[in-house]
Structure 1
Amino acid sequence: MDLTVPRQHGPVSIRLVRQRDARVLQSELLGNRGWLRPWEATSPDGPVSFDMKLAIRRLLQQYRDGGGVPLVMEYEGEIAGQLNVWGVSRGSLSSATIGYWVSERFAGRGITPTSVALATDLCFHELRLHRMEICIRPENHASLRVVEKLGFRYEGLRRRYIHIDGDWRDHYCFALVREEVPEGVLNRWVSGRAPAHAAAVPPADRLPGAVKPSTSDRT
């Protein structure tokens, strides 16, 4: 399996991050601080240094160790953001979690849902994982639209789950298992067969600010 070869659908592709991507990724992250900060993981121990070259080295080491798959999202060959498959577990669990960010200037082009679909299919059919999970802050309407579009199934509310933007934040959890999408997540979505209400959050779990996102949200 060669992850340096892009997996592509239309103008959108994903591939393994490279060390030489550091300059572009750092520039995009620094230029999108206001856009990304509300959704960005932070450390409860305080600020950490921002060094994309070091971050990529660590991500690639995790990949070599089998613990993650660090990918970049591209649009017409230009880097638009990152998508990381992390927390890979083998054996009886055989699962992983997806996280991502996209630059503001690329928003609204379908890059994120297409990339998530490509990455999930890669994990199911090439890495042979069984379950993929995405956890999203209730206020992140654009990301909620991604799981709605792709038919990820709502699994529950995780209280104060991940340290984001300086505090422990609640997250909604969504997941798919391989048996649910034998035709592939991408094929199911583009053919219009993704279940419309799989990602619906029940009223008992809805939190302030977590109103139902509209189709105009930029994903």
Structure 2
Amino acid sequence: MPSAVLPILRDGEVVLRPIRSRDAKPLERSLLDNRAWLRQWEATYPGGGTAIDVKASIRNLLAHARAGTALPFVIEVDGEIVGQLNVSSITHGSLSSATIGYWVSQHVAGRGITPTAVALATDYCFLVLRLHRMEICIRPENGPSLRVVEKLGFRYEGLRRRFIHINGDWRDHFAFGLVAEEVPRGVLSRWRDGRAPQDAARVPEADQVAAVHPLRVGDR
């Protein structure tokens, strides 16, 4: 598979640019400064440690980018790195899909930066890479991320039990999806024009209740 193009995407003050090796120090500083804010949503390895190795993470992201399976970005505002967004699991052909994950620093939360970044990346994947489907999976407890998919009109698609290893254990996630036919003029313009469906990301009560009681090993 050819390497995915690594573009620079902009909207107003928000810039998505390709991650670089020299971003390791500012990213590590930001991650440490926001440790309490981010740790509860941080992907971990079963049986692994909790040390932050940003250099190794960037090397891994760039390797996936060279393989054409990822688009790793940093999020900048006024020249400051305030987070990351990674488009991962990029596949073409009959599936033509990808997954988005992200984090932002606490001091910029609530300013519309995250939904802008997600919309920019999704529009690029749909309109340039010609992917067909984008997915975002979010922990039920992560209110700020749930508001992102609500604003952008991603559709709720179901509860995934013990889906990703987060903060030391396998955690349930809500899955949200969007396909290109739903946003022919782009996610960003639909949101800015007030055309994003208000209830597409609504989680059914049964799944909300189920998420309060995580599935445990040995449950049937």
Whether TM-score is above 0.5 comes out as yes
Counterparts of 1:26 and 1:208, CA distance in 2: 36
Do the aligned residues in 1 keep the contact of 2:172 with 2:211 (CA within 8 Å)?
A: no
Query: Percent sequence identity over matched residues?
Result: 64
Q: Is the 8 A contact 1:94 1:129 kept in 2?
A: yes
State how far apart, in whole Å, the 2-side matches of 1:191 and 1:106 are: 23
Partner of 1:91: 93
Q: Say which SS state the counterpart of residue 45 (structure 2) adopts.
A: coil
Report the equivalent of 1:167: 169
Alignment of 1:84-123 (within 5 A): 84-123=86-125
Give the ranges of 4+ consecutive aligned residues of structure 1 lying more than 6 Å apart after TM superposition.
none
Q: Aligned residue for 2:36?
A: 34
Residue in 2 aligned with 1:66?
68
Question: TM-score, structure 1 length as denominator?
Answer: 0.91
CA contact (8 A) 1:138 1:207 kept: no
Gaps of 5+ in 1: 211-219
Amino acid paired to 1:3: L
Q: Measure how far apart 1:46 and its partner are.
A: 2.0
**TM-score, normalising length: structure 2:** 0.91
Matched residue SS, 1:206: helix
Please say which of residues 189-198 and 46-55 is displaced more in the overlay: 46-55
The C-alpha deviation readout for 1:5-43, integer Å capped at 9, x for no partner, is x21111111111111111110110111110001101011
How many residues matched?
209
1:97 and 1:134 in contact (8 A); partners too = yes
**Residues 1:80 and 2:78 aligned together:** no
Q: What does residue 213 of structure 1 align with? A: none
SS in 2 for 1:57: helix
Unaligned runs of 5+ in 2: 213-220
The answer as to 2:204 corresponding to 1:199 is: no
RMSD: 1.5
In the TM superposition, 1:5-44 aligns within 5 A as 6-44=8-46
**Secondary structure class of the residue paired with 2:209:** coil
The within-5 A match list for 1:101-180 is 101-180=103-182
Structure 1 distance, partners of 2:111, 2:202, is: 23
Q: Residues 135-172 of structure 1, C-alpha deviation per residue, up to 9 Å, x if partnerless?
A: 00000000000000000000000011001111111000
Asked if structure 2 preserves the Cα contact closer than 8 Å seen for 1:83 and 1:98, the reply is yes
Shift in Å, 1:88: 1.1
Distance 2:43 2:198 in 1: 29
- Aligned match for 2:6, one of 3, 8, 11: 3
